[in-house]
A and B are shown apart, each in its own frame.
Chain A
């Protein structure tokens, strides 16, 4: 398996792999393509397998199972049988989780992390990305800025979905690679997206947590967009009760803001900064104060 270095971690990992291979698996799901990471998942709990199969469908890759390069293993001893739930990645233990819900959240978090690690040559931004008219709109922002809520609203409005979390930009063409992961809607946004609650209703009870994971295709069939170049960079900030307002942003300030939302920069120093500057030069930049979802979607459509 990838990641194991001969003579170092490999012997221990391979022993563990053999032990894991000997377990009785209720389901194998995938393979999924998370940016450059081709991954399968096996679980001991059939309820989790069914849920993952429904939820991660937007990442399903047109690959044979044997083409998976990585493998998650989720081992749940079951209630009354000495939980924690154990999560492994390529035979290495990621974590022992106190509950199935925490195990699910950790698995999806680690999948995002693996996606980010899979494209070291790309510019990877902490941003939602939508497609409109064949061009991309980047919505960079820290957790809580409203990226996912906006992405959900814009998908339902007819825009294409690229990601709610990671914008992967190829550095020579600035083309965005889609990462159409399930939208992770936190509890704070459930009110604004109340109409989507039925879509989040099929979580097996031990896996219910304070966030929804929504397949974008259930928000709007055919919503997943293909690769495209960005035209707009809009920095959202959710403020409860505020008046929704969009303001133009100078490009220098846009570069400085964008630099705070970088997961991976292919080059450090001067070359890295120039890459961010070149990306911003190809786009118009704005800030967006989000007071209400409908107004924010309308403001974005008008740009």
Chain B
């Protein structure tokens, strides 16, 4: 469904990604793990078209999307939940969800999808007329995920959805991601919560200094001695 082929990205003279090739199949639940600064956000921002690439390509459902604008990539069904949530803070929860459904196809199903989001996150329903900026961290993350789901994604990419959240809220969010994947949504999860991410995903890539250094099933990575030592502190 999604494939990056020898993707390289640099910021000025600093190389952030070199020759990164990953593949995600329909229905997959894939984790992209690695330490801070390994290039995880750069990779999904390059896929989303927010960062321009030096070489390589990104292919989504058979079409090359590298070089397209971020809004056209979103229109193709590749939706990102950005790091730090990036909500429209001075707009209400409902307005945030309306903007989530900005794409014409999604706009037609707005009411149906809104109902689903409120079922998934009842707390958002109670606060639908509040400003997004007034929500707690966990609620903001839920809103960010809902906003992305409102666009009816084919592939959902989440960048550090657990950042700054209490462990119990993180668990709640990860449980919902598992549920969404169970209903057929393809998900790429970028996280520093290595243990939790490997527990809920099926496959994983380990990104180190801009390279993919390890790939395999999540259970295999959980058992890998390097992963255990460097990322799980075992």
* A-B complex is real: no
Q: Chain B interface (Cβ within 8 Å of chain A)?
A: none
